[in-house]
């Protein structure tokens, strides 16, 4: 038999809605404008003397629902036999008849939502009286839930009064109906074994990936619920002189296969977790219909790529990542999911495997994509780990995670302080420091560094390090020295190691990992490294097992991702500690010789921060001798890290960097901005010296620098007549202080190109300029905000790029100059065109 858990929802909305309407009396004249409570019992009215709806009608509806569900499964595999189908019909009819006993108001019923409303109906029936077996009970539950969903949808549609009061619920239920229809198309009939395991696996994903680690709470680390902590960042893709922006969680909505680059700590793994949990949750309110009915597979490359071992086939995915329910997996389940095109494969960290294994990883991806087409794929990596277009031939679209904007930083800091129980004034004090100090502003560019700043600011009562090296040193002190002392923890997890000893041991583990291009150690290797170091640290009388256990449990920097394996809590700590030991060991040539490898970039920069002046100059000269743009950019970035650099060496770096300016491509410009920072601004040419295309590349480079100095540089281009330059400047205002950018740049543009707005404050800022002609609304919006804050006479173009648009477009008549409206969401074209003023063109 077909599993009833999947069959109950296979009665499509187009068939259920007409049946549900039979349960309710028709509205009389003017019923849509009632101003008194509307009771469900009054709408059904089974017990009136003159019935419009009879119990026999309810039985017919229940019988038809069961009949359609059984028919959907086909004659060969019915979910229940004839006798049990009759029992399901009787139970469902008596349950639906309970509508005549419910005295709650219609808006209260809608507020319950379909799950709780179904339970309200179910609670009025003693189900055991009908003698249902497990398949029959499952079919009954699924059909009741489907009916409840459509009953509530009907309630929201029957009265203009109710619709006005329940706009939000109406949209939610409409999305749920749409989601169910998507689910019908995507979900094949399943065996009970597959369906049951899929539920257990979804629960595991939600528990395993539903929290994030944040730094500094209670002088250590704490798990933070993902739904509270997740911060929606932007993914970007260069296209000519323009950049496309979209919320990172939407990257798989437009493209089934995405290769996403992002620097360390930029949120790649957090995004992977969010997509996995959202897919597994089977909650349809998030609006990402492309995830409905799918199954996530989180595949961290550091876990599944083992020395000398082949990459896993689909059947081994769960076992390869140490999933505890892997042993319960039905044979062939993963392959069935992938053949049904229901997989969401999240391959995290191409950069975290050795370079000589990446070609094998690409072949593995290619074979999987070809063998199982139609699934969703997200592959992540640090920017320089692999060449451009590394997966283009396999059909992947390349995107990049953008740095946190000013508003992102503010949101993150406020959420962090709420989670930490710190006063609001503490967070606002930190924000003031970040906004007024260029180095802190640069440090707060991604969630990892921003979280460390929050922790240290609170821990040090407002005193903050001003450079990256000092930030890590302060974090190490907090985690290694003060954490246990302030919490008065002693002894039970091994010897208490002095701070300097802990640092030395951690450095040795980190440097071994870096030299061997590894992200994890086998436990035996870790014990061997610790054991060799103990005599020199005056710990010869202490066993390596005890010391290793103490480091693992007390340092806060090491963890066991799987039995018998050890790694660092985050890659950046490993790079910092490894760089310290590289300088102590004077391995400067070794560092320079690896400058062409992506995994060594941060190690080299942090080594320059630790090196003494002559050692730093030696490294800088070695980098310049490499002769490639990458070597030059690393040297330029190193000037910000080295405490002291001889003027001659600094001049040599600047001259060699000048050979890359102006950038020849947008990609090189982005790399110049990332590595060179404000130094690049001093080398970029002014608008009168270059052609329009080069001007656009220069402007894009300055935008990517994103500092106060960059904003001042951009004022030189605000009157430039080139279209690409103007579009870039209009598009960049969310990267800077909103009001200052509007005053210094937008107000001076010769033509008003589209700008993105996401908040009422954005609209107020544009209003202060006298209005704006072309506006792109990103994310959720309220009609009241748009009509009140957009200057009606100025608006000529409006794009509504929202996952859940407000129903209807009739409100657009408030804008008399509006010529074009672009709607990204799925609205009925006929209805939309009827609502849009005749003078306005609508596009999709």
Chain segment 288-306, per-residue pLDDT in tens: 777 888 899 999 988 888 7
Distances in Å between the Cα of 368 and the Cα atoms of 279, 351, 362, 372, 398 are 20, 20, 10, 6, 19
| pLDDT given for residue 217 in this prediction | 38
- Per the prediction, the chain carries an average pLDDT of 78
Query: How far, in Å, CA of 414 to CA of 166, rounded?
Result: 31
Are residue 439 and residue 363 in the same domain, yes or no? no
pLDDT at residue 25 tops 80: no
* Domain assignment of residue 51, yes or no: yes
Mean pLDDT calculated for residue range 706-718: 90
Mean pLDDT calculated for residue range 723-733: 91
| pLDDT given for residue 7 in this prediction | 44
pLDDT at residue 584 tops 90: yes
CA atoms within 13 A on the CB side of 299: 28
Are residue 244 and residue 164 in the same domain, yes or no? no
State yes or no: cis peptide before 662, omega within 30 of 0.
yes
* Domain assignment of residue 233, yes or no: yes
Are residue 152 and residue 39 in the same domain, yes or no? yes
The CATH number covering residue 459 comes to: 1.10.1900
Burial level of 844, CB count in 10 A (0-12/13-18/19+)? exposed
Distances in Å between the Cα of 315 and the Cα atoms of 305, 312, 326, 329, 358 are 16, 8, 10, 9, 22
| pLDDT given for residue 169 in this prediction | 53
Q: What is the DSSP letter of 39?
A: B
| pLDDT given for residue 554 in this prediction | 66
Query: How far, in Å, CA of 3 to CA of 15, rounded?
Result: 21
* Domain assignment of residue 569, yes or no: no
| pLDDT given for residue 355 in this prediction | 76
Q: Strand, coil or helix: what is 612?
A: coil
* pTM exceeds cut of 0.75: no
Query: How far, in Å, CA of 499 to CA of 482, rounded?
Result: 9
| pLDDT given for residue 494 in this prediction | 54
Are residue 798 and residue 830 in the same domain, yes or no? yes
Are residue 375 and residue 424 in the same domain, yes or no? no
Are residue 303 and residue 428 in the same domain, yes or no? no
**What is the Cα 454 distance to its own chain's centre?**
21
Are residue 222 and residue 184 in the same domain, yes or no? no
| pLDDT given for residue 627 in this prediction | 83
pLDDT at residue 430 tops 80: yes
| pLDDT given for residue 2 in this prediction | 45
| pLDDT given for residue 486 in this prediction | 40
Enclosing domain of residue 182: 4-189
Q: What is the DSSP letter of 832?
A: H
Contact 189, 2 (CB under 8 A): yes
pLDDT at residue 755 tops 60: yes
**Poorest-pLDDT segment among 401-415, 506-520, 795-809:** 795-809
Q: Are strands 797-801 and 774-778 parallel, antiparallel or unpaired?
A: parallel
| pLDDT given for residue 45 in this prediction | 47
How many domains are there within the chain? 4
Nearest in space to 708 (alpha carbons), one of 437, 389, 313, 369:
437
Are residue 289 and residue 423 in the same domain, yes or no? no
Mean pLDDT calculated for residue range 461-488: 69
Query: How far, in Å, CA of 732 to CA of 707, rounded?
Result: 12
Q: In sequence order, what E strands does 393-498 have?
A: 397-401
| pLDDT given for residue 219 in this prediction | 41
pLDDT at residue 548 tops 80: yes
Q: How many CB atoms are closer than 10 A to CB 625?
A: 10
Q: Give the pLDDT band of residue 98 (cuts 50, 70, 90).
A: confident
Nearest in space to 87 (alpha carbons), one of 130, 142, 143:
130
Nearest in space to 352 (alpha carbons), one of 459, 272, 451:
272
Are residue 182 and residue 308 in the same domain, yes or no? no
532: left (phi over 0), alpha (psi -120 to 50) or beta: alpha
**Poorest-pLDDT segment among 646-660, 803-817, 821-835:** 821-835
Are residue 372 and residue 443 in the same domain, yes or no? no
| pLDDT given for residue 214 in this prediction | 57
**Listed residues 417, 451, 466: the one ending a domain:** 466
pLDDT at residue 570 tops 50: yes
Mean pLDDT calculated for residue range 385-414: 84
| pLDDT given for residue 242 in this prediction | 46
Return the residue matching tokens 């975290």: 352
Mean pLDDT calculated for residue range 189-217: 79
**Poorest-pLDDT segment among 187-196, 345-354, 764-773, 793-802:** 187-196
| pLDDT given for residue 228 in this prediction | 62
Are residue 241 and residue 333 in the same domain, yes or no? yes
Are residue 398 and residue 411 in the same domain, yes or no? no
pLDDT at residue 187 tops 80: no
Return the residue matching tokens 């997509």: 275
pLDDT at residue 30 tops 50: no
| pLDDT given for residue 474 in this prediction | 79
| pLDDT given for residue 16 in this prediction | 66
Q: How many CB atoms are closer than 10 A to CB 131?
A: 12
| pLDDT given for residue 298 in this prediction | 94
The two three-digit tokens of residue 36, written as one number: 């008194």
pLDDT at residue 492 tops 50: no
**Listed residues 402, 421, 450: the one ending a domain:** 402
Q: Give the pLDDT band of residue 220 (cuts 50, 70, 90).
A: very low
| pLDDT given for residue 34 in this prediction | 38
Mean pLDDT calculated for residue range 682-705: 89
Contacts of 152 (CB under 8 A, 6+ apart): 109, 110, 112, 113, 114, 117, 169, 173
User: Which H or E run includes 775?
Assistant: strand 774-778
Burial level of 554, CB count in 10 A (0-12/13-18/19+)? buried
* Domain assignment of residue 122, yes or no: yes
| pLDDT given for residue 23 in this prediction | 67
**What is the Cα 365 distance to its own chain's centre?**
22
Structure confidence by residue, pLDDT tens digits, 395-406: 898 888 887 877
| pLDDT given for residue 369 in this prediction | 94
**Poorest-pLDDT segment among 413-427, 698-712, 781-795:** 413-427
| pLDDT given for residue 19 in this prediction | 67
Contact 762, 739 (CB under 8 A): no
* Domain assignment of residue 644, yes or no: no
pLDDT at residue 571 tops 90: no
pLDDT at residue 6 tops 50: no
pLDDT at residue 382 tops 60: yes
* Domain assignment of residue 549, yes or no: no
* Domain assignment of residue 659, yes or no: no
The two three-digit tokens of residue 100, written as one number: 């005549």
Across the beta sheet with 797-801, the strand order is 755-757, 774-778, 797-801, 820-823, 841-843
pLDDT at residue 321 tops 80: yes
Contact 351, 385 (CB under 8 A): yes
**Poorest-pLDDT segment among 166-175, 231-240, 546-555, 817-826:** 166-175
What are the residues facing 222 on neighbouring strands? 214
Mean pLDDT calculated for residue range 483-508: 67
pLDDT at residue 680 tops 50: yes
The CATH number covering residue 349 comes to: 3.40.50.300
Highest mean pLDDT out of 465-469, 619-623, 796-800: 619-623
* Domain assignment of residue 561, yes or no: no
Distances in Å between the Cα of 493 and the Cα atoms of 10, 490, 497, 542, 549 are 55, 8, 11, 13, 7
Q: Give the pLDDT band of residue 438 (cuts 50, 70, 90).
A: low
Percent of the chain with pLDDT over 70: 76
Contact 774, 755 (CB under 8 A): yes
pLDDT at residue 176 tops 50: yes
pLDDT at residue 487 tops 50: no
Q: What is the DSSP letter of 664?
A: S
Residue 41 phi, psi dihedral angles, 5° rounding: -60, -30
Q: Give the pLDDT band of residue 313 (cuts 50, 70, 90).
A: very high
| pLDDT given for residue 88 in this prediction | 87
What are the residues facing 774 on neighbouring strands? 797
**Listed residues 402, 420, 447: the one ending a domain:** 402
| pLDDT given for residue 179 in this prediction | 58
Mean pLDDT calculated for residue range 244-258: 79
């Amino acid at each position: 038999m077909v599993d009833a858990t999947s069959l109950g929802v296979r009665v499509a909305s187009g068939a259920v809605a007409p049946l549900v309407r039979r349960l309710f009396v028709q509205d009389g004249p003017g019923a849509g404008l009632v101003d008194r409570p509307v009771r469900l019992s009054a709408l059904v009215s089974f017990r009136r003397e003159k019935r419009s709806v009879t119990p026999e009608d309810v039985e017919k509806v229940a019988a038809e629902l069961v009949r359609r569900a059984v028919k959907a499964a086909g004659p060969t595999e019915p979910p229940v036999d004839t006798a049990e189908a009759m029992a399901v019909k009787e139970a469902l009819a008596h349950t639906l008849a309970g509508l005549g006993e419910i005295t709650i108001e219609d808006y209260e019923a809608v507020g319950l939502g379909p799950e709780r409303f179904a339970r309200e109906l179910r609670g009025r029936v003693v189900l055991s009286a009908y003698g249902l077996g497990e398949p029959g009970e499952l079919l009954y539950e699924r059909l009741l839930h489907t009916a409840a969903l459509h009953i509530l949808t009907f309630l929201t549609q029957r009265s203009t009064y109710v619709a006005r009061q329940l706009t939000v619920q109406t949209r939610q239920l409409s999305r749920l109906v749409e989601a169910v229809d998507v689910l019908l198309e995507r979900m094949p009939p399943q065996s009970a074994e597959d369906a049951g395991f899929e539920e257990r696996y979804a629960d595991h994903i939600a528990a395993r990936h539903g929290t994030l680690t944040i730094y500094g709470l209670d002088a250590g680390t704490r798990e933070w619920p993902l739904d509270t902590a997740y911060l929606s960042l932007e993914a970007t893709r260069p296209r000519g002189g323009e950049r496309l922006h979209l919320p990172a969680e939407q990257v798989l909505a437009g493209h089934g296969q995405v290769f996403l680059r992002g620097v360390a700590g930029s949120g790649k793994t957090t995004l992977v977790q969010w997509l996995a949990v959202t897919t597994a949750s089977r909650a349809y309110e998030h609006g990402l219909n492309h995830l409905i009915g799918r199954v996530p597979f989180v595949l961290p490359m550091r876990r599944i790529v083992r020395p000398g071992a082949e990459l896993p086939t689909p059947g081994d995915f769960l076992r390869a990542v140490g999933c505890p329910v892997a042993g319960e997996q039905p044979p062939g389940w993963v392959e069935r999911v992938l053949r049904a095109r229901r997989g969401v494969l999240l391959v995290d960290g191409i950069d975290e495997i050795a370079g000589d294994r990446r070609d094998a990883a690409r072949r593995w991806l290619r074979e999987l994509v070809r063998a199982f087409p139609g699934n969703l794929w997200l592959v992540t990596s640090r920017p320089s780990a692999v060449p451009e277009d590394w997966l283009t031939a396999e059909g992947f679209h390349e995107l990049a995670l953008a740095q946190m904007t000013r508003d992102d930083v503010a949101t993150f800091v406020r959420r962090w302080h709420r989670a930490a129980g710190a006063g609001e004034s503490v967070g606002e004090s930190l924000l003031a420091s970040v906004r007024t100090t260029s180095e802190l502003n640069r440090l707060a560019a991604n969630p990892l560094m921003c979280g460390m700043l929050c922790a240290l600011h609170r821990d040090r009562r407002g005193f903050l390090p001003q450079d990256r090296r000092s930030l890590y040193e302060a974090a190490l002190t907090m985690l290694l020295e003060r954490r246990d002392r302030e919490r008065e923890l002693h002894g039970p997890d091994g010897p208490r190691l002095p701070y300097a000893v802990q640092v030395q041991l951690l450095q040795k583990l980190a440097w071994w990992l870096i030299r061997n291009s590894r992200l994890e150690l086998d436990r035996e290797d870790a014990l061997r490294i610790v054991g060799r170091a103990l005599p020199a640290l005056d710990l010869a009388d202490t066993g390596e097992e005890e010391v290793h256990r103490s480091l693992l449990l007390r340092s806060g920097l090491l963890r066991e991702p799987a039995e018998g394996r050890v790694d660092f809590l985050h890659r950046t700590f490993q790079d910092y500690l490894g760089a310290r030991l590289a300088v102590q060991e004077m391995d400067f040539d070794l560092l320079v010789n690896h400058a062409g490898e992506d995994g060594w970039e941060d190690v080299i920069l942090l080594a320059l921060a630790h090196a003494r002046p002559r050692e730093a100059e030696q490294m800088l000269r070695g980098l310049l001798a490499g002769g490639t743009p990458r070597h030059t950019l690393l040297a330029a970035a190193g000037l910000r890290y080295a405490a002291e650099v001889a003027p001659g060496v600094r001049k040599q770096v600047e001259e060699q960097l000048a050979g890359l300016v102006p950038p020849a491509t947008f990609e090189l410009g982005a790399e110049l901005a990332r590595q060179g920072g404000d130094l690049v601004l001093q080398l970029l040419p002014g608008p009168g010296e270059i052609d329009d295309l080069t001007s656009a590349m220069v402007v894009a480079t300055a935008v990517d620098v994103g500092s106060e100095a960059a904003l001042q540089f951009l004022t030189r281009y605000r009157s430039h007549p080139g279209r690409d330059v103007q579009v870039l400047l209009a598009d960049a205002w969310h990267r800077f202080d909103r009001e200052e950018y509007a005053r210094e740049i937008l107000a001076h543009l010769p033509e008003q190109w589209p700008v993105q707005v996401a908040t009422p404050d954005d609209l107020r800022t544009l209003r202060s300029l006298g209005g704006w002609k072309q506006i792109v609304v990103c994310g959720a919006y309220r009609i009241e905000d748009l009509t009140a804050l957009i200057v009606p006479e100025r608006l000529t173009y409006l794009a509504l790029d929202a996952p859940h648009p407000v129903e209807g477009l009739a409100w657009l008549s408030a804008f008399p100059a509006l010529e074009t409206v672009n709607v990204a969401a799925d609205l009925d074209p006929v209805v939309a065109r009827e609502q849009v003023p005749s003078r306005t063109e609508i596009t999709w």
